[in-house]
Amino acid sequence: MIGKTSVVTNKVFEGVGPSVTNTGLNESSRKVFDFGFIGFVTDKIDIEFIKRLAGKFTVGIYGDFYDGKVKSKLQSLDNVWLLGGFHYAELLMICETFKVGLLPYRQEIYHDGSPLKLYEYLRYCKPVLTSIDYELTDERFIVNYRKKEVTDETLIQVIQLSGNKGIAELLSDDDYFSKPLREIVVSLIGGG
């Protein structure tokens, strides 16, 4: 089908990760953290919120740093572990090392509304603390700390939700790559 274009928005891959061994993860990343962040770390990350969490809880941050000042500030915090970059195939193992996913962005400079990290956390049954709203906003499992007062008691309640199968059920078939890719293949071979 020459001339036909298909666009697939951010989605979650299925079946990636379970066969990966834990050998790529160092000893500190096998620790189970209360909170975890996956992704590139830039000046958009909300250091003040992470600092608040680190006052009473543990935080694991997985990802490459693109801002040396941010890295230095986070390194100086007790209860925060910087665990470096990772390969997507390691995501399952990484998500097993924390209880709650973090999407802590500074509102004044955040502009990318991609829900991909949210989907990944949900896929692995991790409740989420976020600073922005996405199209999925189920307050049982996704807490926007800018819209709701988040006390230590609230944080403990969110931690206790980790592993709840209802979290992954927030994702529909449309949130996974398999459906749109199947539709593209069918259209390419003339079946649709």
pLDDT digits (tens, 9 = 90+) for 175-189: 555 565 556 566 667
Mean residue pLDDT across the chain: 83
Helix (H), strand (E), coil (C) string for 64-102: CECCHHHHHHHHCCCCEEECCCCCHHHHHHHHCCEEEEE
What per-residue confidence (pLDDT) applies to 21? 40
For residue 15, tell me if it sits in a domain: no
Q: Is residue 169 part of a domain?
A: yes
In a domain, 41, yes or no: yes
Its domain, for residue 98, covers 22-188
Q: 95-116, pLDDT tens digit by residue?
A: 999 999 999 999 888 766 678 8
The pLDDT value recorded for residue 135 is 84
Is 149 within the bounds of a domain? yes
Read off the CATH number of the domain in which 155 is found. 3.40.50.2000
Read off the pLDDT band of 17 (50, 70, 90).
Answer: very low
Q: Is residue 3 part of a domain?
A: no
| Number of domains, the chain | 1
pLDDT at 114: 76
DSSP one-letter code for 153: H
- pLDDT over 80 (residue 68): yes
12 domain-assigned: no
